[in-house]
Chain A
Amino acid sequence: MTYPTITLDPAATRQALGELRKARFRRRTQDIDWVESLYKAYLTGLAALAAVIAASSIVGDGRLHAHELVDVRNHGPAIVGMVLGALMLLGFRSGARGGPLSFEPPDITHVLLAPLDRGAAVRPIAWRQLRGVLAIGLVAGAIAGNLARGRLPGSTPAWIAVGVVSGLAVSLAVWGSASIASGRRLRPLVATAIGVVLVAWPAADLFAKTTTCPLTWFGKFTIAPLPGADPLPLASIGVLLVLLVPVFALIGLAGVSVEAAQRRAGLVDQLRFALTIQDVRAVVLLYRQLSQHGTRAKPWWPHRALGGRAPHPSTWRAQIRRGTHGLARWPLVRVVRMLALAAVAGACAAGIYAGTTPLVVVGGFAWFIAGLDAVEPLAQEADHPDRGAEFPVERGPMYIRALLVPFLVMFVLGLVAFGVAALLEPGLRAPEPALFTIVAGALATVAAGAVSVIAGAPKLGSQLQQILGDYGGIIPLFRQAFPPLLATAAFAPVIAAQIAVKDNKPPMPWVVNTAWVVASVVLLCGAWINSRRDRAA
């Protein structure tokens, strides 16, 4: 029955894998409707183009003043270096958990466990992934270049070209960081330490006004079209060093852990499916599993043991205690992520107030992600509808009670965001408008998270969709777009303050009025949540 076992050399491996790819390609292309595929490609291209134009032409393209340009020249490179370092930190951490490559489960069983050169088996998968990474870098770079062109002096082609090259380099560096960590099997602590150094070094450059870090050199390249910017040699070396990261990654890719690859394979499949059906809650849960961010076995603070005096029964108290118990089991990484998101939101608020209004998209997205994490007690109830159905309380009021703790969490994060914004932008240091903005922001983000969780994935073929006929597709689109838009409304008071200041008017009434408008929308959401009665919610 058994044969003498032999192993395949790299050439034979490539041949065998090539045969497989051909056979699978033949099978897949048998049923392809080419006209439909070309139409899809056309639509995707059109959407990407629209995104580039829309993202670069949103309001707020005011030119910087002379003193601000001096700041950009002096501090810009180090800040860009810090941002790149932070993205590489995320890459390194993801790689330490097995990313970025994701294998099909049969590839793990039949290819990675076969006696062949793993490098030859893994690299084609890496190349395929790199194509997507480069496309993202290209589009993001073009958008960034176009945005910079709007606010900074310098020739348009130069800004676009530098934006595209920078976007490609950044995407490659982040992918490379993750691949180095997974290929070299770096432990999470080591990967995090490397990432922290990559953030701290350009930060040191920023404060010491030096240019010692290669990431700062890369930052010099990103502002090269600016008149009076430093000559290019150092900047070019920075770009080349950044581009060495993916090269180094590709060399060591064969060392990828099969255990991590197998864990990711199934989860990535589910994650893709959840994204396809636009199930945001499933995406959050799968992401947590993928990142291995479980809840803490030991709570941050002790809870009352059984056997003591029973607390006074109250549905409000029950939900508040349930919320704080859940909060006590948040993993450290989630706490850090929430604080980082708050810092991003604060930085965006400062940027918006200074005139870069498109940052509302970044800030709104950060607040939406934070809101999804904050409403975890409510999400747990929605995840287990059968258990909640046993309580002698209507589902809607119970959901409302579960939102008090998330509101307090978002209020505290709002204070953090205010601290960051005030640090960066002196115009945002007044406490009264800040308080209104923070409260409105906390309400909006909690409502956004709650609506997203309770609404769940869009249900196709609903009664309303059938009534609307051809226009029915707008319902699921609205359901998915509304929560992030609501979270973005958290920045409405900041925009109002910016407009008021520009028109030489006192900002406080504008802020208060805008905050009331946001609160009114939240109130309507609250009424909708309170009216939930169906078991599956």
Chain B
Amino acid sequence: MIAFEAKSVRKEYDTLVALKDVNLSVKEGELVALVGHNGSGKSTLLRLAAGLLELTSGELLIDGAPAGSLDARAAFSFLADEPVLYDDLSVDEHCEYVAMLHASPPEWPEKAVGIVQELGLAERVGDLPSKFSRGLRQKTAILLALIRPFSVLAVDEPFVGLDPSGQRAMLELLTGAAEAGAAVIVSTHQMEFLDRATRVVILRDGAIVKDGKVSREEVLKNLG
């Protein structure tokens, strides 16, 4: 079943065209890597899907619901490139709050404990993220993106700022989400992830120039 569907998606900022009639479908269980130069439109596409930006034209559906609608928000988990966290809530308080807002099933605390262990955050769950390094804040944001229910997971540059063990954990968590049936779309240039992805979508100047199983060499060639 198609979980993410972009039909002739176009986004303009004043005179700048960020996305030019992009068409893209992602099925449940697919692990998709979104690659491209800075300004190629990767983040714009993910932000449109999250409902953070409004389409100029076209249609973007999450589980069949228009992006940004109530049903789409319930199904779409988005991890932005910059972690956005409250200064006055600890990691566990963040978890509880996000789980409540997303009506997570009762077993969410066990799931959270598992993710916390995998990310190496166990010692810091009672601390305020405002005192964390960039990497720890990124790990907290990953935790929050994963403890809530979703059928599409979109992640923007998740490996930036993570130490090698954090990067490995991230890779496993993303692969695990896809294996559990979610459509996972990740904007990244990390080669290990590209090897693991079921599809690589290359964007250039707001348009898709390649979509499929692409080799490392082909990615590097397209990125110049």
Contacts and interface: CB of A to CB of B under 8 A. Distances in A.
Interface of A: 1-8, 12-13, 15-16, 19-20, 23-24, 27-28, 104-106, 108-111, 113-116, 257-259, 262, 294, 297
Contact of A5 (B75, B97, B146, B181): B75
A329 B74 CA distance: 45
Interface stretch (B98-106, B194-202, B212-220): B98-106
Nearest to B152: A2
Interface in B145-190: 146, 149-151, 176-177, 179-182
Contact of B78 (A4, A6, A19, A113): A113
Contact of B105 (A3, A8, A27, A105): A3
Contacts of B75: 5
A111 B74 CA distance: 12
A122 to B, nearest CB: 14
A267 to B, nearest CB: 15
Interface in B30-77: 50-54, 63, 68, 70-71, 73-75
A8 B103 contact: yes
Contact of B54 (A104, A115, A259, A294): A259
Given A110-B101, A110-B144, A3 B149 contact: yes
Given A8-B101, A23-B89, A106-B85, A113 B74 contact: no
A115 B97 contact: no
Q: What is the interface of chain B mostly: helix, strand, loop, or mixed?
A: loop
Contacts of A115: 70-71, 73-74, 101-103
B102 A114 contact: yes
A258 B68 contact: yes
A-B pairs with lowest CB-CB distance, top 4: A1-B180, A115-B74, A3-B149, A5-B74
A299 to B, nearest CB: 15
Given A23-B93, A257-B54, 6 more contacts: A5-B75, A8-B101, A27-B88, A113-B51, A115-B101, A258-B52
B74 A105 contact: no
Nearest to A118: B70
A105 B85 CA distance: 8
Q: Which of A12, A19, A113 has the most CB of B within 10 A?
A: A113
B84 interface: yes
Interface residues of B, number: 43
B70 A7 contact: yes
Contact of B52 (A4, A108, A111): A108
Given A1-B181, A114-B102, A259 B52 contact: yes
A238 B151 CA distance: 52
A232 B197 CA distance: 74
Contacts of B70: 7, 115-116
Q: Which of B15, B84, B151, B176 has the most CB of A within 10 A?
A: B84
A16 B53 contact: no
B52 A24 contact: no
Given A106-B85, A108-B52, A114-B101, A2 B180 contact: yes
A19 B176 CA distance: 31
A24 B88 contact: yes
Contact of A27 (B15, B89, B100): B89
B86 interface: yes
Nearest to B48: A259
B6 interface: no
Contact of A6 (B52, B74, B98): B74
A2 B182 contact: yes
A23 B128 CA distance: 13
A316 to B, nearest CB: 35
A258 B73 CA distance: 12
A113 B73 contact: yes
A111 B102 CA distance: 9
B80 interface: yes
B19 to A, nearest CB: 14
Given A6-B74, A259-B54, A16 B100 contact: yes
Contacts of A15: 100
18 contacts: A1-B176, A2-B149, A2-B150, A2-B181, A5-B150, A16-B100, A19-B96, A19-B100, A20-B97, A23-B89, A24-B86, A24-B89, A108-B84, A109-B84, A110-B101, A113-B51, A115-B103, A259-B52
A321 B105 CA distance: 67
A61 to B, nearest CB: 49
Nearest to B105: A3
B195 to A, nearest CB: 21
Contacts of B52: 108, 113, 258-259, 262
